[in-house]
Every structure is written in C-alpha cells, then in structure tokens.
Structure 1
Amino acid sequence: MHGNSVPDTYVYVTEEGVTRHYADGSVDALAWEDVVEVRVAGEADADILYILLDRDGQGCVVPHSATDATFLARLRYLPDFDPERLSAAMDTARDSSVVVWRSPEPPSALPDLEYD
C-alpha cells in the first residue's frame, strides 16, 4: 500500500449539526440550533477555517478543504445569514479572524428555580 489513504480530517454535515472527525480519533460536534456565531479565519498559505461557536465558546472548526456545497448551503439557513459577507470574509481572512454571523436572538435567561 502506498501513501496514507486516511484523510487527516473529515466533516459530516446533517440537518441536525456538523461533526468533524480527526485522524487521532477526537471529534468536534455542534448542533445547528446551538450555533450562535460563525467566524472565518485563515493564515498565510493555509486553508481557510470556518469556526462555529455555541454560547459557551465551544465549537467546531471546519477547514474549507473539508467542506462541500451542503455545508455552505446549510449556513444560509442561519437566521439573517449574509452569503456576501461570507464571500468577502473569505477574501480578507488571511492572517485574521472575521465574524461573519452572530445569532440575532439574545441569550436566553436562566429560569428562576424555586426550592422547597
């Protein structure tokens, strides 16, 4: 067998969320309903990264090279998502991180709990 036939990373996109599997067996996953921010980041001569974050700052980092049309199409379902802003960020994201979307909904308050 020649070369390494296993990719370093692969990404699954479903209606429920996005999951990134790493070669070392670790996994990042985030449900679409938990996404509150999308960033585009890049380094000179490196892959563009999509960074999806939840309210706690946890998230899923997705390399552009591991995405397909399904991922980009699913981003467009986020409320008030602007595809033109995404395109502009991809052109300027080298050596920086650009927020391309934030949830328009304010964080939900914790419920008042009553104790007996």
Structure 2
Amino acid sequence: MHGNPMPDSYVYVTEEGVTRHYADGSVEALAWEDVVEVRVAAEAAEDVLYILLDRDGEGCVVPRSATDATFLARLRYLPDFDLERLTIAANSAHDGVVVVWRSPDPPSALPDLEYD
C-alpha cells in the first residue's frame, strides 16, 4: 500500500506559541510573548517562509504552505501588526528577507544593581 509521503516538517500553532517539527526529529519553538520580529523570505520558487524571532535572534521558521487561518489570526494579536503588509510581502517575495513587523517595545534594559 502506498500512502502519502511523510512531510519534511509540520507546524503546530497554539495560544501559547508556534512549534515546527522536522523529519530529522529537531524542533523549533517560540512563545508568542517572546516574538519581537516577523520576517518574510522566499524559499526558491516553491514556498514563502515566515520567520519569527525572539530578542536573542532565536526563532521558528514557518513555511506558508504549513500555515492556516489560525496562524494568521494569531499574528494579528501582535501589537500594531499589519496583516496587509505581511500579505504584500509574501506575495511579492523574491530573493532576500523582508522585516514586516518589529515589536514596538524596546528590549528591557537590565536594572542597575547597587552593591553595598
């Protein structure tokens, strides 16, 4: 019996965050509260990638082919996120990476600690 081939990755989107599982067993995950930047990049001619990053530059790469309405709806909860800008960037993605959203909150500075 021939079934569908196993996908090379799959994506879970929850209220807490987004997780991508790869066929080799590796996992990328990012909590929504940690997302500070969203980028769009073209992956050859086959797909568009949404790249979610945290303050340390770590993140989760989500192929557009693996997204659904839940993913897009959740992006809209990011402060001042412009879904139209994302759509335009994804539809016109060529070579390179486009930043479509950055957190309006600057990174929190470490508090000045005073020692006696």
Q: What is the TM-score of this pair, normalised by structure 2?
A: 0.92
Is structure 2 residue 65 aligned with structure 1 residue 65? yes
After superposition, the C-alpha distances for 1:29-64 in whole angstroms (9 at most, x for unaligned) are: 000000000001004412100000000000000000
> For 1:48, what is the secondary structure of its paired residue?
strand
Kept in 2, the 8 Å contact 1:18–1:32? The answer is: yes
- Quote the Cα distance in structure 1 between the aligned partners of 2:28 and 2:43: 21
1:12 equivalent in structure 2:
12
Percent of pairs with identical residues: 83
Paired AA for residue 51 in structure 1: I
Q: Which runs of 5+ in 1 are unaligned?
A: none
The 1:9/1:43 distance shift into structure 2, 3 A limit, reads closer
Matched, 1:95 2:95: yes
Number of aligned residue pairs: give it.
116
Across the aligned residues of Structure 1 and Structure 2, the Cα RMSD in angstroms comes to 1.5
State the shift of 1:80 in Å.
Answer: 0.1
- TM-score by length of structure 1 reads 0.92
CA distance in 2, matches of 1:43, 1:68: 18
Q: List alignment gaps of at least 5 residues for structure 2.
A: none
Q: CA deviation at 1:114?
A: 4.8
Q: Which residue of 1 aligns with 2:86?
A: 86
Query: Could you tell me which residue of structure 2 aligns to residue 42 of structure 1?
Result: 42
